[in-house]
Structure 1
């Protein structure tokens, strides 16, 4: 019993010290990352990114969330595997990723409800098929995209 309490205590300390991010224990470890570009022009955001798994374990099924600082227009045409899940959020299945493997590139275009001069895009993993990602720094991206038509890389 004392050992169980010690393990739970260590998990609580890790949770508090980690800024509120719980790290799962016991599953295979994988390291997901997303790299790509985003551009904004006239209220339309174009995003393309490629998922990568630096391993050491394969990921059986991954899902990425894209969140915008501005609300999305009601009508959207999204690529297969992507769905709107909130007013400002689209989630995309990226599927299985081999250890040390690169997934299929995701290209999507969304329309914002207005025509802002800038938008903040946040990208992060919301599903990783039960694997443990000990390095959450590279699967979370934040990019400020200005309404210039220029590409902003992440």
Structure 2
């Protein structure tokens, strides 16, 4: 079975497709955050991810990096909007994130190359269109997920 990802807009309005011009002297800023949970059972790793931008600047797109302490099965496809960084890294685009708390959600179902007792998942924003993040601490997470099938929240 291939990995799946579901992207859906939250309650906010759509973000314009082009970045608005920046007035002279203004430095655009955003506040991207990633939250969700990770579940490991057997050789399956589930990731439920919610990415939000609290502004003040709209983001046309961002890239979320997911890194794993155990390699993923190499013969699986990745969902649209995601690509391999290497055997232990997946990069996914969020699409537009509006400054009013616009939220995008993703669900990934991945196969590992083995059946580890635990996996560490690292989540961070790799790229945000050149707009600095005023509080990167809420988009950088490290989660230990023992192979219990339980949800470990970040």
TM range (shorter): 0.7 to 0.9
Aligned partners of 1:145, 1:105: CA distance in 2, in Å? 20
Cα root mean square deviation, aligned: 1.2
Tell me the distance in 2 between the aligned counterparts of 1:120 and 1:97: 27
Return the index of the structure with the highest Cα Rg: 1
Alignment of 1:15-26 (within 5 A): none
Indicate conservation of the 8 Å contact 1:37/1:47, yes or no. yes
- The CA distance in 1 between the partners of 2:115 and 2:124, in whole Å, is 25
What is the deviation of 1:59?
A: 1.0
User: What's 2:147 paired with?
Assistant: 147
Which consecutive segments of 4 or more residues in structure 1 shift more than 2 A? Answer: 100-104
Conserved 8 A contact 1:77-1:110: no
Query: In the alignment, what sits opposite 1:41?
Result: 41
State how many pairs are aligned.
Answer: 129
1:86 to 2:86 alignment = yes
Residue in 1 aligned with 2:7? none
Asked if 1:32 is matched to 2:32, the reply is yes
Whichever structure has more strand as a proportion of its residues is: 1
Q: Secondary structure at the match of 1:46?
A: strand
Q: Which runs of 5+ in 1 are unaligned?
A: 1-25
Q: State the TM-score, normalized to the length of structure 1.
A: 0.80
For structure 2, which runs of at least 5 residues remain unmatched after alignment? 1-25
How far, CA to CA, are the matches of 1:77 and 1:104 in structure 2?
A: 22
